[in-house]
A and B are shown apart, each in its own frame.
Chain A
Amino acid sequence: MDTLLPVASGSAAGPLTADELRELYSLMVAVRHLDTSAIAWQRQGIIPGYAPELGQEAAQVGSGYAVDTTRDFAFPTYREMGVARTMGVDMVAYMSTHKATWHGGLYNPMESRLAPIQAVVAGSVLHAVGWAHGQTLDKKDGVALTYFGDGASSQGDVHEAMNFAAVMKAPVVFFVQNNGWAISVPTERQVAGGSVAARAAGYGMPALKIDGDDVVAVLEATRRAFAHARSGNGPVLIEAMTYRRGPHSTSDDPGRYRSLDEERDGAGTDPLERLRQRLLADGIADEAFFAEALAAAKVEEEQIRTGIQALGSRPGTEMFDLVFQETTPALQAQAANWREESEHV
């Protein structure tokens, strides 16, 4: 499905350069390696839990790559590690949320242009609409990119967000990663009609239903959508069809609701392998490049792991200090009481 008019101007229309394609590969390898490592960290007791994004690297790297961090803003859920990495977020600060250091992570969302990680599905989709409408009011050209999944598309907030954005012609790109599963519930039991993208028609909004495991297709679609929204034409919905190859979380057991055969059939070809084959076929990269990319990913993972292991608990005073900009006497009294009775010494 493609109901978005072709974009004929600017970089949005141009083909990807060899450098860009190689960079996309390096990012996907870094994300893949960090993601699988994070599961191992959980098994080793370094972090209490993690929500893997195995199989969604192309959807996340490709879309995150389209963000211009000087003017755009992205709104993640809790499974957008690949987007964060692609946007250049400090990954120790990002992964700290999975170490149970701070809900939302320790990165600065205003500087990194990535809203805090949040755990309520569809919770931030309306925020993107508000931020985007702010661009309209301020006569700025930023675009809001908001992520959610096939499961979240069932939430009423998603309907409200799309309707608001379309009514207000807000510069929002709704990016649905349809990974086939909301914990144990498959898309066919979640999305009536089978397509989130099809719903855009009802809002008079253009939609792109794309192969979310083809990083080039994802990046090109996202750039087209950004160009459309940035030019004042209103929101766009992208549904990237992908597959959650791993469990919902490190304590999920997919064997309870799907077989290995179903997984194999649903997952298709590994998105990383697809890009690799493409780069080889186009003569853009060779085995030495792939080995180098993997080696770099390993070095990076080690640095992040070291950083995560070195990360101590936040001081308990932050519980009280960060509730308000202007604190209250009651809260100050509680903080004093906490210091007296239970601050660890």
Chain B
Amino acid sequence: MSNSILESESASGNNTADNTAGDTITNPAGSEPATTVMSMQQALNRALDEVLAENPKAVIFGEDCGRLGGVFRITDGLQARHGAQRVFDTPLAESGILGMSVGLAMAGFHPIPEVQFDGFAYPAINQMVCQIARMNYRSRGTMPMPITLRVPSFGGIRAPEHHGESLEALFAHVPGLKVVSPSNPHEAYHLLKYAATRPDPVIFMEPKSRYWQKGEVDAARHDAGGGSTTGAKVMREGRHLTLIAWGAMVARCLQVAELAAEDGIDIEVLDLRWLKPIDAEALAASVRKTRRAVVVHEAPLTSGLGAEVAQLITQSCFDTLRAPVERITGFDVPYPSGDLEDEYIPNIDRILFGIQRVLEYKRG
């Protein structure tokens, strides 16, 4: 199985001449490729446009979503195309936005609210945890919560405080919420379209540092080489070690894999995509083959999602693992200001150090 056609652009991180693989569209069906090059911003915008067109009960709202088109232009033009009844600005109150989503869902709508930045999800946690996440349960399945909450997430853009945080472990810990994060435009398009048609609440974490990178989007098919929209995805095949990541860290791990290849180390990169539920089978399948695993995330180390991933791998691959699963993560510190951002986010060398520790690990 090879999905390299989708990721080669992310792998090199730019559109330089050595990136020819990204322009080669292999299509097993033999028909003309139906791909478009677009940024993640454009891919998300297109997905939302289609969701609104296909589902008359879908509504988009939040701060500055309407006339402005969102603080990252993700909802640009949607109000003009679908009307101010279906794409609207709210007053500035995240708890209000999420609480109102509950009522709209009860009334038969599919709310697609936006919280402008990761750090602004905190004021909405009460509605998210105490209400959205458990209304289906409380109502014995009679009040489903088809709410797709978009949260521009993670760091890397030198923004002010509360604009660079990674909340996936917080969300994933809440029973009743599902969590997903795309790593490139193709994933963004398909995962958002999928999430926005589910009957359950999904937190959709958009890696804001990847908004502007362009990539091929094949709107007709999600996983050309197999796999499932609900699971993880092998972005690069390898034999010696599996790097597991999501969001913006996938592109970095693909860079690391290329560098490791220079040293004769063949690395597999697994994009987890769904952070809840986690695709334990994909983790097992990959690590059974490579026997070594390093998980990379921007969020702090302690009680981060890396711990969950490491446990799932240990559970399924204890006998074949050559080394303990390594975690390369942000630190247990508040997300720092722009000047220190590169010190905080896992960089290439820190990931390579982690890989080296795993490679040279000796049992006993």
Contact = CB atoms under 8 A, between A and B. Distances in A.
Binding partners A and B: yes
Interface of A: 48-49, 78, 97, 99-104, 118-121, 151-152, 154-157, 182-185, 189-191, 256-257, 313-314, 316, 318-320, 323, 328, 330-331, 334-335, 338, 341-344
Interface residues of B, number: 41
Secondary structure class of chain B's binding surface, majority of residues: loop
21 contacts: A48-B158, A49-B160, A78-B160, A97-B337, A100-B338, A103-B334, A104-B161, A120-B123, A121-B92, A151-B91, A154-B91, A155-B95, A155-B123, A182-B92, A257-B68, A314-B339, A319-B343, A320-B333, A331-B333, A341-B349, A342-B343
Interface string B157-174: 011111100000000000
A156 B331 contact: no
B53 interface: no
Nearest to B335: A103
A316 B92 contact: no
Given A157-B123, A342-B343, A342-B349, A256 B331 contact: no
A314 B336 CA distance: 10
B92 A151 contact: yes
Interface string B340-358: 1101100101100100000
The CB with the most chain A CB atoms within 10 A, among B91, B122, B347, is that of B91
Nearest to B70: A184
A80 to B, nearest CB: 14
Contacts of B347: 342
Nearest to A101: B339
Given A154-B92, A190-B91, A323 B333 contact: yes
Given A120-B120, A154-B93, A341-B349, A48 B338 contact: yes
Nearest to A184: B68
Contact of A189 (B89, B333, B336, B340): B89
B332 A330 contact: yes
Contact of A119 (B63, B96, B119, B301): B119
A343 B63 CA distance: 39
Contacts of B122: 120
Contacts of B100: none
Contacts of B349: 341-342
A341 B341 CA distance: 15
B60 to A, nearest CB: 15
Contacts of B162: 119-120
Interface string B131-175: 000000000000000000000000000111111000000000000
Given A101-B339, A313-B340, 8 more contacts: A48-B158, A100-B338, A103-B161, A185-B64, A314-B337, A314-B339, A319-B331, A344-B343
Contact of A103 (B96, B331, B337, B350): B337
B161 A118 contact: yes
A190 B92 contact: yes
Contacts of A320: 331, 333
Nearest to B126: A156
Contacts of B285: none
Contacts of A156: 93, 95-96, 123
B63 A316 contact: no
Contacts of A103: 160-161, 334, 336-337
B302 interface: yes
Contacts of B63: 182-183, 185
Nearest to B119: A120
A118 to B, nearest CB: 7
Contact of A154 (B69, B96, B331, B350): B96
Contact of B163 (A119, A155, A191): A119
Contact of A185 (B92, B339, B350): B92
Nearest to B341: A100
Contacts of B350: 341-342
Nearest to B95: A156
The CB with the most chain A CB atoms within 10 A, among B89, B119, B347, is that of B89
A161 to B, nearest CB: 13
B67 interface: yes
A217 to B, nearest CB: 27
Contacts of A338: 331, 343
A154 B163 CA distance: 20
Contacts of A331: 331-333
Given A155-B123, A341-B350, A334 B92 contact: no
Contacts of A191: 91
Contacts of A334: 301, 331-332
A184 B76 CA distance: 13
Contacts of B34: none
Contact of B67 (A101, A120, A257, A328): A257
Contacts of B161: 103-104, 118-119
B92 A152 contact: yes
A154 B119 CA distance: 17
A129 to B, nearest CB: 17
Given A120-B119, A184-B68, A100 B331 contact: no
B338 A316 contact: no
Given A330-B302, A334-B331, A338-B343, A183 B336 contact: no
A183 B160 CA distance: 16
A53 to B, nearest CB: 15
Contacts of B341: 100
Interface in B95-113: 95-96
B21 interface: no
A109 to B, nearest CB: 14
Contacts of A185: 63-64, 67, 89, 91-92
Contacts of B89: 184-185, 189
B37 interface: no
Contacts of A154: 91-93, 96
The CB with the most chain A CB atoms within 10 A, among B64, B69, B337, is that of B337
A331 to B, nearest CB: 6
